[in-house]
Amino acid sequence: MTQSIQTKQLFFLFFSIMTILIFSAPLQMLFVRSFNDEVYDYIVLVPFVSLYFLYVQRKELFATSAYSFPAGITILLLGVVLSLIGMQQVSGSNQIGSLSLITLSIVIFWIGGFVLFHGVHVLRNALFPLLFLFFIVPLPAFLLEKIISFLQEGSAEVTYVLFQFSGVPVFREGFIFHLPKISIEVAKQCSGIHSGIALLITSVIAAKLFLATGWRKGVLILSVLPITIFKNGLRIVTLSLLGNNIDERILSGSLHRKGGIPFFLLALIVLFTVLWILRRSEKSMGTTGPSPSAGLGGRHSASSITGAT
């Protein structure tokens, strides 16, 4: 690596450190939230994944490194505008929305600095690790609520279908299902948003590592939605049948609270089965995917079946 490239990397490192210092308050809020809110506990890992992919591609990436002041400054100005808008909202009632906006501006700052010191050509080759950084941006509350509601409704529909196959008499009232001995509610906690995000990030990384064609990558990533909804429905039905047929205390016990891991592992198996099928179809068509080493009692009031995992 030439001394010129090393100098540019030192400049970018200094720029990144300054960005972290300038935005230290919102970044601290972001990481505190990631430790206290399981929906966002993945955030602390995202930068390390991006750094890993940049590291394994470093020789090819930085061989053509060149300053790009016009493009870099333009992206930085966009980051400035977004950060100013976000900071104006901090003192208002929409603090979560402002954190999302400020975090978005931080990612754009990093991308702008990268372009400034390494150029647009390097940006094209480093799109995956840089775009992956957008996973640290927490979803605005209104958008997160819509996603949770969609997953809740989908899980309720799958739950109803699976109950029909189980042969257990069930009467449905919206999100509430009345079984012979118990009633359960598919609450918003049953949406599986936490495991859904984990599956989404896993699918994105797996698509990058193992698939070459864009539409197959898209199929793998989109498959996360039905897999998540089916997994939620299966978990709800399994716990409900155990509570109805064995002991209703299961619905409030440790199996309920911590029993999501086996179902998440099942979802992973299904996801990687889809990946295997797609990768095999690439090989049969003569398309070789990237190498991982190279690329990178009686009825009671309705109980709530939660889906933390």
Q: Where are the domains of the chain?
A: 3-136, 143-304
Residue with tokens 């086996």: 262
Overall average pLDDT of the 227-251 stretch:
86
Mean pLDDT of 81-107: 79
- Residue 134 scores a pLDDT above 70: yes
Among residues 118, 163, 150, 144, which one has the least CA distance to residue 1?
118
User: What does the mean pLDDT of the chain come to?
Assistant: 85
Helices (H), the chain: 3-22, 24-36, 46-56, 58-62, 69-90, 95-118, 120-125, 127-132, 141-166, 193-210, 214-222, 224-245, 254-258, 260-284
Percent of the chain scoring above 70 in pLDDT: 85
Rounded to two decimals, the pTM is 0.85
Instruction: Examine the pLDDT at 308 and tell me if it is beyond 50.
Output: no
Pick the range with the lowest mean pLDDT from 5-14, 23-32, 69-78, 162-171. Answer: 5-14
More confident position, 143 or 60: 143
Q: How many residues in total does the chain contain?
A: 309
pLDDT band at 109 (very low <50, low <70, confident <90, very high): very high
Return the SS3 of 42.
Answer: coil
Q: Give pLDDT tens digits for 38-89.
A: 888 899 999 999 999 998 988 877 777 788 899 999 999 999 999 888 887 6
Gyration radius of the chain over CA positions: 23
C-alpha distances in Å from residue 32, one per residue of 24, 27, 29, 42, 191: 12, 9, 5, 12, 23
The predicted-structure confidence for 114-123, as pLDDT tens digits, reads as follows 999 988 888 9
The residue behind tokens 């198996």 is 269
